[in-house]
Amino acid sequence: MRMAEPVALDGGDYALVRATIRVISESWREQPDLDAIANAVGTDPNHLHRVFTRWAGLTPKAFVQALTLDQARRMLDDSASILDTAYEVGLSGPGRLHDLFVTHEAMSPGAYKARGGGVTIAYGYHASPFGTALLMATERGLAGLAFADPGEEAKAFTDMAERWPAAAFVQDPAVTAPFARQIFDPGHWSHDRPLRLVFIGSDFEVRVWETLLRIPLGKATTYSDIARHIGNPKAARAVGSAVGRNPISFVVPCHRVLGRQGDLCGYHWGITRKKAILGWETGLVNRLSGFGDV
């Protein structure tokens, strides 16, 4: 199957898309038309349609449909069996043929207990389809990915740096730029060039994050299913805490964890951004399946 065309990476586009998603989320019961949405975000309807469709691979109307509760429940269909299959075939199974391929390792327990002591982490800010992305990397691979709204870059850095307070941080976007290109451009997703990750967390957190990596593009699962798959079915609440502390957003797809009834629940980087990522992925799945824009 031919790979989809790369999605345009434009931080300015996301500002408009974010505002559009907020308007849609607040007024979807009134089923606003394109003119009404464009008026609410202060732009021309044709411009909004063009930017939104280029960004998401979906029209604004189709994006609304992609975020309905019915669609969320379809994503959850057989969520337990999805993880069962993922464990059977591994991360390179056919269900992940067009997902972002990764290899990963966990930092030693000693380094985690030392709160990152002895570890040097390079960081940089980069444009992404979901606003400014803060990437953090060690010599062994990507260790962190966060998102920041305009003016909140320092807040995002503090949030991430506090996870490993004894680590040494060096701002070096030249180190993190290759990771950004590989992550946010599907044209660079290749089984032959996997993205290297390094997890810095407790043993329990690492097991949860490894399970998140097994949720395929276009699918979702629940906290309780994850708890069952790590061998602790009564630990759904603890799983929720570990999911919330996922340090490598988007790549480790915590956004694909939904409530049992299909509700979107919270997201550390904002529920609007979670909706944006899920809708963007729906558009990508459509293109990969040959459906094109809808």
Q: Over the stretch 141-187, which tens digit does the pLDDT of each residue have? A: 999 999 999 899 999 999 999 999 999 999 999 999 999 999 998 88
How many residues would you count in the chain? 294
Burial class (CB in 10 A: 0-12, 13-18, 19+), 57: buried
Return the residue matching tokens 């340090």. 247
pLDDT digits (tens, 9 = 90+) for 227-277: 998 888 899 999 999 999 999 999 999 999 987 776 778 889 998 899 889
Question: Are 3 and 98 contacting, i.e. CB atoms less than 8 angstroms apart?
Answer: yes
Cα first-last separation, the chain:
20
Catalytic residues: 254
**Four-point Cα dihedral 81, 215, 101, 217, nearest 10:** 100
pLDDT of residue 152: 93
One-letter amino acid of 165: P
Which residues have CB under 8 Å from 2's CB, separation 6+? Answer: none
Which SS3 state, helix, strand or coil, does residue 248 take?
strand
Task: Measure the CA–CA gap between 104 and 195, rounded to whole angstroms.
Answer: 8
**Which of 124-128, 190-194, 195-199, 211-215 bottoms out in mean pLDDT, i.e. has the lowest?**
190-194
